[in-house]
Every structure is written in C-alpha cells, then in structure tokens.
Amino acid sequence: MESSGLKQIEKVTLWDRAYAELRSALLAGRFAPGQRILLREVAGALGISLTPVRDAVNHLIAERVLERGTGGQGGGAIVPEIDPDHFRQLTLMRTELESRAAFEAAANVTPQAIASLRDALAQMTGHMQRERRDDYLEMHRRFHFGIYALADMPLLQDTIETLWLRCGPVLNVVLPEYVPYLKKTDYHAAALDALSRQDAQAVAEAIRRDIADAGEYIYQLLRNRQQGTVTV
C-alpha cells in the first residue's frame, strides 16, 4: 500500500485531539462529578465524527478516569463521583509526587519560566477576585504544570496528570466554598519566590503545603456534604 500514497494520519490526529481536549477539560475541573459526557455533544463541539471521540472516551474509561455510561459504548461516559476517603488517598499521592517534581524543577529554572509563572499567578488572582471559576482552575493547572515541566521528568508528570484527572471534577464543585480559604495563605506565591531563588527544598515544601492543606480542607467539605452538614 506504500505506492498508493495513502497516509493513515487523520484518524490518529482526531483521536489525539479528542483525547487531549477531554483530558484538558477534566484537568481544569470543567466537568462535575456525576456529569454525563455524551459522545454526540463532544463530537459536535469539536467538529469531528463520533469514532475518534468514542476511542478517546474508551481510553479514559480504561484509565479509570471516566466510567462507562448506561447503554454500552453508545451511552458515552460518566464522570465518577469521589468519596472523601478516595480523595484523601489521591491527596497523599499528590503531595509526594508533586513536591518531588517541584524539587527537581529548581535546578532547571529560567528567567522565561519565572516570567510565565508570574503571569499565570497574576491571572489566577484576577480570576479569583472576579469569581471566574473555570478561568481560575485553568490558570491554576497551568501554574502547577509549568513548574512540573521544568523537572524534565515526563513519566513523573504523566502520573501527576492522572491524579489530577481524578481530582479535577471535585474542584469544580467545592471551589465556591474553598475560595475564602485560598486567601489565607498564598503557597503559590511562596513556591514562585522559592523557585526564582532556585531553593529546591523551599519550593518543594510550598507545593507540599499547598496540596496538603487544600486537600484536608476539601476532604472536610466532602465529608460534610456526605453527612448532610452545611458548614465546615
């Protein structure tokens, strides 16, 4: 078939696009726990056929990021609900892996990276003040992964992304209640300051505290919701 000039590129490209778009939306918390993801709606939003969308969704189901919807493959998928204990386990894994990535990042910091992270942090602050939840979560993701990318450890970053995929939908739900807590201690600014000084231990500690403190607060929110309690 080589002489025919046919190239099997389009299907792979579209599958990659659908997969990347869904991952990005999940990472940014744009889907809520329990929300249905319908194949036709995703295909329509992306302007592509059902087949690559189905392939992307099946892959996310295999990764245990999504759950199979009713009606088999034609039923799309569902964003899993997450119980408090499951969330706590994810938080424990995140603190270890992300603080390590932050530690490694300090050795590879550049002025351009610092400028990009500083811009992301400024946008996070602006979005939080204007209560633009989706935009805040997107810049929050960019800030964290901007640091982790500096570690130049792709296997570690892939694992971190998988954990974020499972946590993202929860952030979508609890962020309105969590915003006041965000204003108490700015671990993001502390991490950026430490990174600019290439203080590996300090940036790792700032990221660890950011995840651990937020995780404990969100864990309590989830527990209270589970038990039907209104306040923390």
> pLDDT (tens digit, 9 = 90+) per residue, 22-34?
988 888 778 888 8
pLDDT at 179: 60
Q: Which residue has the higher pLDDT, 175 or 156?
A: 156
pLDDT at 232: 41
pLDDT at 4: 43
Average pLDDT over residues 157-172: 87
Q: Which residue has the higher pLDDT, 3 or 47?
A: 47
Instruction: Please name the amino acid found at residue 71.
Output: G
Cα Rg for the chain, rounded, in angstroms? Answer: 19
Token code pair at residue 111: 């002025």
pTM as predicted? 0.82
Instruction: Please name the amino acid found at residue 24.
Output: S
Instruction: Please check the confidence at residue 177 and state whether its pLDDT lies above 70.
Output: no
**Backbone dihedral region of 152: left (phi > 0), alpha (psi from -120 to 50 degrees) or beta?**
left
- For residue 144, give the H/E element and its range: helix 133-150
**Can you tell me the distance from the alpha carbon of 101 to that of 149, in angstroms, rounded to the nearest whole number?**
8
- List the one residue out of 178, 170, 20 whose CA is nearest residue 90: 170
SS3 194: helix
- List the one residue out of 102, 91, 223, 224 whose CA is nearest residue 167: 91
Q: In what order do the strands lie in the sheet with 77-78?
A: 36-37, 77-78, 67-68
pLDDT at 187: 93
CA contacts within 13 A on the Cβ side of 20? 7
Report residue 66 CA to chain centroid gap: 14
The DSSP call for residue 139 is H
For residue 74, what pLDDT band results from cuts at 50, 70 and 90?
Answer: low
Beta strands 77-78 and 36-37, pairing class: antiparallel
**Can you tell me the distance from the alpha carbon of 56 to that of 41, in angstroms, rounded to the nearest whole number?**
14
pLDDT at 123: 94
